[in-house]
Structure 1
Amino acid sequence: MGTRFAQGPETGGLFASAQALTMHRFLLRFALAGVNIFAWIFVFQFFYFLEPDLTYAFVRTTLLYALSQMITCLATPLTARLLRGGARRVLLWGTLFVGAAFVALGTAFEGFWNIVYIGTPIAAFALSMGLYRALYWIPYEVEVSAEGRKKSSIFGEIMIALAPLLGGLFIVGAERGPAWILYIGAGIVLLSIVPIFYMRDMHEKFMWKYRETFVHLFRIENRTLVLGSFLEGLSGAALLFFWPLVVFLIVDSSYGMLGVILSLTFLIAILMRGTVRRFMRRLGLVKSRALNVVFAVTPWLFRIAVGGPLAIILVDSYFYTTTPRRLGVDPFAFEQAADAGSYVDEYTALKEIALALGRIVISFAGVAALLLMSIPAALASIFLIAGLTAAVGVLWLRTQ
């Protein structure tokens, strides 16, 4: 299977690499937290202004999101093989694609494109985000973790949690706010590239060829990890893509209120999660299968019924403080990745592909529901699917 070796000592020691990685991750996550979900909402609003029909705005945005996930799915075996030439370079290119995505979308709202070609930068945004997810492999995470790499400070997490609030207020208060928040986000992303040059490079031995990777995806011995990742991809897309769009509509398309809700929810999660989890451990409830199923399903049922900002904050705070921590989901940055984004071995690529497939399936299921049902019924069906898959995921993983 995959093995790794580091470039020579001239690229810096493990501690310096860990510090550089921490700084890079902070800057990138801050940019994603403040811009990522707003970018998809900009796309949603663009389609609505193009044709004032919420159904078709949802459908077109969802199809664009599915296209992004298809790129991730198809490109992942190729990008994993690029790790043989050095993970640092692949990480750099992945980061560049995030910046390129934000810049491309920003130009769509700056009048640089004729209305006939306005779809070009929007498609470029989706393609770039898909390539980013395929290319963004965090190097030497296993080695750094083995050395006891210090986790992000509470101050850093609070700063990232406040990014949606800052982004929402900027969009509301600044002239040409949507375009400039994208450019600012791109600038922070590009700034996050600087620490990459101070990381120790790692050369990963990805052994599978392109077609062979997809053969392994469907082998029965890989069923547990593939199905588990597929289910997480289904619920992850509902959480990180569909739900923020619904929240945006609930708050009457207010970017400022959306930012307030997201940041307040994240702050509550940071401050309360540890207390809630310690209380559950003290009562011996953490390993309760029945309780974990309840925690997996009930937030999605509550989301179907919410109708205002306070209810949204309560439901999401309940979700983030009670559900088991999933290594692949970073709600602050609206990101989901296999093995927390780090390359462990060839099976990490399988998980990443399965995650993307799950997101693609829920996207097409959502499109079908939107075309066949009313918008509330379609969104409710998406959240019911997410709740069901979350419950199945809990039961499936605990029986393997």
Structure 2
Amino acid sequence: MSRDLHAHPSFFHFILNRELDEFYISIALRFFALSMVGIFLPIYLFFKLNLPLPVVMYFFIIFAIFFALAAFMAAKIASQIGFKHLILMSIPFEITFFFLLILLPFFRIPLFLVSITGAVSRGFYWIGHHTDLAKFTLRKKRGEEVGLAFFVNTGAALLGPLAGGLILTFFNFTVLFLIGSLILLISTVPLFFSKDVHEKFSFSLKKVFKRASLKDAAAFTSQGIAIGSSGVLWPLFIFLILGGYFSLGLIGTLSGAISAFSAILVGKFSDKLGKRFFIRLGAFSFAGLWFFRTIVRTIFHVYLITLFAFIPGMASVPMDTLAYSKARFSKRIEEYLVFREIFLNLGRILAYLFMLVTASYIASFIFTGIAQVLLTLF
């Protein structure tokens, strides 16, 4: 993987752009830590703690609601502390989230409190993350650089699920959460080596919705539905088939590897062939993928469908690129990014509510597939 990265034409800009350089290193460490835990979180709640499925869905609904609220809060305070400090602020919440998860089997901790703690961390982090990319990527190479960011995210996360699976096979969730916390602490170090973006700006939620585009809102909601289904429902579904932590981690790593390398190609060619062309192609392909997921019944099926992990990035990489461009040239970067997070989380909520009402993975996958057509509105 190292040789491929050095061969990439944007790599030299990556090295020369100090803001992105340190940012990429930090997010690589963070994504590795979270990828160790992320795919196993719904498994922990449902299979390890034996929480009823509706309770698990409520956990993630609360998470999504407070994620959106935290994003709004983050934008409000960013002008006071800067965006890198915002990312730094997310770390104590994330580590507290991990420790609360460790304590859940032993103490009667309100589940909504655990969910809110994790949500605040993600809301603070993602506003800082997206603002950094919107500000420091170059316009003419934004697709390529967002593809590289996606590559770094998923590339760093390649071994995370496999490492998490191995830890759970030989140890337990407590060890997994502790190791994740340690890596999160290390991820803050690169952010101390560059100045922060510290701009005074006014922010109003009323203005966010006044300037909102209904088409963008629908597309982000659609993207959020896919994120919710991919991050929670799909792991629960395939764990019932695979039956082991290592197998689930291996699937996560294989999927990440395919996604990472395809993101580089999509980012590069979307700058040349047109981002909306890839969004439309990716939207219909992703819809088809969700329909095919409804017929997965065996371990062989799970591995076969994983080979198509390049499809989600066909839409998400150019869509993220356009979102950063729209944020940058709206001259209200923070407002647009909060608008984005609100509707992404609305999509997550809809995915969890649909599962809550139908109690059917198959119906939820069909719903997710149909929703992907809305990506073409972006």
> Where does the alignment leave 5 or more consecutive residues of structure 1 unmatched?
1-13, 51-56, 331-337, 371-377
| Residue 278 (structure 1) shift | 9.2
1:392 to 347, 355, 374: 374
Displacement after TM superposition at 1:277 (Å): 9.4
- The equivalences for 1:1-400 within 5 A come to 15-48=17-50, 57-85=52-80, 86-109=82-105, 111=106, 113=107, 117=108, 119-120=109-110, 122-136=111-125, 137-138=128-129, 139-146=131-138, 151=148, 158-174=155-171, 177-210=172-205, 212-213=206-207, 216-217=208-209, 219=210, 222-252=213-243, 254-271=244-261, 287=277, 292-321=282-311, 324-327=314-317, 339=324, 344-370=333-359, 378-394=360-376, 396-397=377-378
C-alpha distance 25-328 of structure 1, shift in aligned 2 (>3 A)? farther
Tell me the CA shift for residue 274 of structure 1. 6.0
Secondary structure of 1:140's aligned partner: helix
Give, as a single letter, the amino acid of the residue that structure 2 aligns with 1:183: L
Tell me, in whole angstroms, the C-alpha distance in 1 between the residues paired with 2:149 and 2:282.
27
C-alpha distance 87-64 of structure 1, shift in aligned 2 (>3 A)? same
1:388 CA displacement: 0.5
Q: Distance in 2 between matches of 1:203 and 1:288?
A: 35
| Deviations 1:326-371, CA, capped at 9 Å, x for gaps | 14999xxxxxxx759999331111111111111112211211112x
Question: TM-score if structure 2 supplies the norm length?
Answer: 0.80
Question: How many angstroms apart in 2 are the aligned matches of 1:368 and 1:89?
Answer: 40
Per-residue deviation, 1:298: 1.3
| Amino acid in the other structure paired with 1:241 | V
Q: Tell me which amino acid in the other structure corresponds to 1:245.
A: L
Q: What is the alpha-carbon distance in structure 2 between the residues aligned to residue 320 and residue 127 of structure 1? A: 32
2-side partners of 1:165 and 1:257: how far apart? 8
CA distance in 2, matches of 1:62, 1:106: 19
Contact 1:101-1:124 at 8 Å conserved across structures: no
* Cα deviation, residue 391, structure 1: 1.6
Contact 1:206 1:345 in 2 (8 A): no
Aligned pairs, number: 348
Deviation at 1:269, TM superposition (A): 3.6
Give the whole-Å Cα distance in 1 for the aligned partners of 2:313 and 2:89: 33
- Do the aligned partners of residues 76 and 132 (structure 1) sit closer, same or farther apart at CA in structure 2, a change above 3 Å counting? same
User: Which has the higher Rg, Structure 1 or Structure 2?
Assistant: 1
Query: TM-score scaled to structure 1, two decimals?
Result: 0.76
- Structure 2: runs of 5+ lacking an equivalent: 1-15
Q: Is the 8 A contact 1:27 1:189 kept in 2?
A: yes
- Taking a change above 3 Å as real, the CA distance of residues 267 and 327 of structure 1, as seen in their structure-2 partners, is closer
Contact (CA 8 Å) 2:90, 2:120: kept in 1 or not? yes
- Pairwise CA distance, 1:124: 3.5
Q: CA deviation at 1:390?
A: 0.3
* CA apart distance, 1:271: 4.8
CA deviation profile, 1:179-229 (whole Å, cap 9, x unmatched)? 11011101111111122222321124442334x25xx43x48521222221
Amino acid of the residue matched to residue 357 of structure 2? A
Aligned to 2:9: none
CA distance in 2, matches of 1:22, 1:283: 26
2: CA distance, partners of 1:32 / 1:360: 21
Decide whether the 8 Å contact of 2:258 with 2:309 is kept in 1: no
Distance 1:322 1:232 in 2: 10
Give the Cα–Cα distance (whole angstroms) in 2 for the partners of residues 328 and 97 of structure 1. Answer: 31
* Conserved? CA contact 2:66–2:120, under 8 Å: yes
Q: Deviations over 1:255-282 (max 9, x none)?
A: 1110111112222344566679999999
- Between structures 1 and 2, the one with greater helix share: 2
1:265 partner amino acid: S
Letter matched to residue 66 of structure 2: I
Q: Do 1:276 and 1:322's aligned partners in 2 also have CA atoms closer than 8 Å? A: no
Counterpart secondary structure, 2:198: strand
Contact 1:106 1:179 in 2 (8 A): yes
Query: Using a 3 Å threshold, how does the CA distance of structure 1 residues 166 and 382 change in structure 2: closer, same or farther?
Result: same
Q: Answer yes or no: is the 8 Å Cα contact 2:255–2:309 preserved in 1.
A: no
